[in-house]
Chains A and B, each alone.
Chain A
Amino acid sequence: MSYAAVMGRRNDIMVRAAGLDYRDFTTGTLAFDYEAMMKVAGDLATIREIQRQTRVGDTPLWELNNITRLARQLAPPGKGARIFLKDEAANPSGSFKARRAALSVFHAARNGYPGVAAATSGNYGAAVASQAAMRGLPCIIIQEVFDSRGVGQPEILEKGRACEAYGAEVVQLTVGPELFYVFLVTLEETGYFNASLYTPYSVAGIETLGYELAEQVYGREGRYPDAVVVTHAGGGNVTGTARGLRKAGAAATQVIGVSVDLTGLHMASDRDFNRKSFTTGHTGFGIPFLTWPDRADVPRNAARPLRYLDRYVLVTQGEVFYVTELLAQLEGLERGPAGNTSLAAAISLAQEMDRDQILVVQESEYTGAGKHPWAQLTFARENGIAVERGDPAGNRPGERIVIPEHPRQVKAKDYPLDGVCRSYLRNAVARAGSAALTPADHRFLAEDVRRDEEWVKRVLEEARTVEAP
């Protein structure tokens, strides 16, 4: 089956495999009715019930007293917010991804699909596999694992092992975006449900995370958190958490996205693939999915992070490994490094906030062989990356990982959202091509970037002028 032929049928394959015709929601050239699409996942009470059937959610919220103390010792007088951690590693497959998988697998079972498939190299694979095991459905997970030498990322190898432990078939591929082609062929051949990360089911599944943490903080402190720090890659974590916070009534809570800075590494490059230590939660997904969410494996991405982000910051790989040590040694919680991306930012952000404020780190993930600082740094060294201690400012993705020498060197760096919104609108102009944008499009784009329509029209006009020959 030729690549081009399969890609040409992608929309039909997707409609059948997701049980959703995205064309139903179209309202303009680019616009669609986002809230109507999200409704297909059901209301929050129903989602909670479905998740409880398969042991998902209701995870503990811990106050990190010693890490708070550490941040306060670095902060100016009166500053240093209390830091809490939502221990999502307590979910069945060891990460918050169980929330995303739960609804997809429920719908696959209820609608009589013969199985579920997902294209993912992350914790999501194990989450789908675990949920499929509980609901008695066969499962196929398609992963990007190896470079052309056959060398695999230890973190991804571990995730593949976990999928197999839950009884799933794992298809391991070399580097490249044609993973999507293999996924389409598999969906077509098997008739399985597409448990995409980007459907309303997946994103609405995370709403319970935001809702629960708001409830837990309110129940304990009589107030909602002042800020929640969320690791950002494809946008679902930010979107779902923020929507859940709003549904709980925590409308004033700041939503801060965090990615690991991997600037300069090409995500589809065979050479660069094994020159990174983090396989998700990084800028290689984070920025492209901010500037155009609809690059996903479904026609309309339910993850629309620019609608919800108040602020976006970056941290380095070395800082995340450092705080992984802090979490283990100061708080007695050994968790996987990638899940601690938002914790790294939180230590820095808490120092800007008042002492009586509350900052929630909304996830953790399991750790084990492969998903561990030793495994990942040993692998980095084997692939020619220097590992040293020093100032994280000296970090160079793909060349040098710098482990801080002191907690004061852990500093989240702001990535301005204004420029991101402008890139998004330039992409919108390119996507629309010669088709005219309607008032519905202007309204939709304004909602998607959380700016007023006048600003959007102005930026679109500028982008058009640049585009014109």
Chain B
Amino acid sequence: MTKRAQVGDWVQIHRVVLPAGARAPQVPADTQSAPLEMWVKGILLAGGELGQPARIRTAAGRELEGRLVAVRPPPGHDFGEPVPQLAAIGAEVRAWLERGGEGS
């Protein structure tokens, strides 16, 4: 990943909204011990060093500040791997229907 962003780059910033221990009273203990964190993406307006404060303009036009954490971050999800437990289902059920449902 690029180490430095230029003004105008599509970047992501991070902020702690509520520190650990200052969470809503109703949250369970595991959540209570973690901070509430926030990430937002936008066009870099100021800053550019990863890990340092930065200001962005979001897609809605808001100006937000936070710590610069990524430059052109990819979405991070995909189709996963083929799942062996699903692989045979189509053929099994088609064959069962062909047999007129015998063995049901």
Contacts and interface: CB of A to CB of B under 8 A. Distances in A.
A169 interface: yes
Given A174-B36, A387-B85, A408-B104, A372 B79 contact: yes
A325 B89 CA distance: 7
Interface stretch (B1-9, B45-53, B54-62): B54-62
Closest 7 CB pairs of A and B: A73-B101, A378-B80, A329-B90, A148-B34, A169-B60, A370-B77, A375-B80
B17 A173 contact: yes
A157 B27 contact: no
Nearest to A74: B104
Given A377-B85, A389-B85, A176 B24 contact: yes
Interface in A120-174: 138-140, 145-146, 148, 152, 154, 157-158, 160-161, 164, 167-174
Interface string B65-87: 00000000001111111110110
Contacts of A169: 40-42, 58-60, 62
Given A169-B40, A387-B83, 11 more contacts: A73-B101, A73-B104, A74-B104, A140-B62, A146-B39, A148-B35, A168-B59, A190-B62, A268-B28, A330-B97, A407-B104
Interface stretch (A177-185, A237-245, A450-458): A177-185
A270 B38 contact: no
A275 to B, nearest CB: 12
Interface residues of B, number: 44
A270 B79 contact: no
B28 A73 contact: no
A428 interface: no
Contacts of A148: 31, 34-35, 37
B103 to A, nearest CB: 8
B41 to A, nearest CB: 7
B25 to A, nearest CB: 9
Interface of A: 3, 66, 69-70, 73-74, 115, 138-140, 145-146, 148, 152, 154, 157-158, 160-161, 164, 167-178, 181-182, 189-190, 266, 268-271, 321-322, 325-326, 328-330, 369-370, 372-379, 387-389, 403, 406-408
A13 B94 CA distance: 56
B36 A321 contact: no
Given A168-B60, A329-B94, A388-B85, A269 B28 contact: yes
Contacts of A181: 17-18, 24
B86 A152 contact: no
12 contacts: A146-B39, A148-B35, A161-B75, A169-B41, A177-B26, A325-B89, A326-B89, A374-B83, A377-B80, A403-B85, A403-B89, A407-B96
A115 B34 CA distance: 32
Interface majority SS (helix, strand, loop, mixed), chain B: loop
Nearest to A367: B79
A176 B31 contact: yes
Nearest to B59: A169
B89 to A, nearest CB: 4
Contacts of B86: 321-322, 325, 373-374, 377, 403
Nearest to B99: A73
Contacts of A74: 101, 104
A178 B20 CA distance: 12
Contact of A157 (B62, B75, B97): B75
Contacts of A173: 17, 36-39
